[in-house]
Amino acid sequence: MKKSDFTYEIEEHEKFFFEHLPECKKRQYAGLEAMKNSYNGVSIASKKFGIHKHTVRKGKKELMEHTLPPVGKIRQKGGGRKKNFIC
């Protein structure tokens, strides 16, 4: 078999993989893609995955600073609807 016999739709598989990640991992994966395309990488990753540029920048920043969310946590503490206290 020749190398040309193995053709893959890499972009299609990347998008499939991206859709099945939790929020924080999506952000970091998009940041990694942005780092691979150094010039204009944030814009490219944003269009590729259909997410906002600020999200890509945040993922890129997390990777560069080696800050990862706690294991088992998807969202930060304190998010969501506030409880209504009636006295």
- Give the tens place of pLDDT for each residue, 22-38: 888 999 999 999 999 88
Per-residue pLDDT, 58? 94
pLDDT of res. 9: 83
**What residues does each domain of the chain span?**
10-65
Predicted confidence (pLDDT) at residue 41 exceeds the cutoff of 60: yes
pLDDT of residue 69: 67
Higher pLDDT, 7 or 47: 47
**pLDDT tens digits along 46-58:** 999 999 999 999 9
Please report which helix (H) or strand (E) contains residue 62, including its range.
helix 53-65
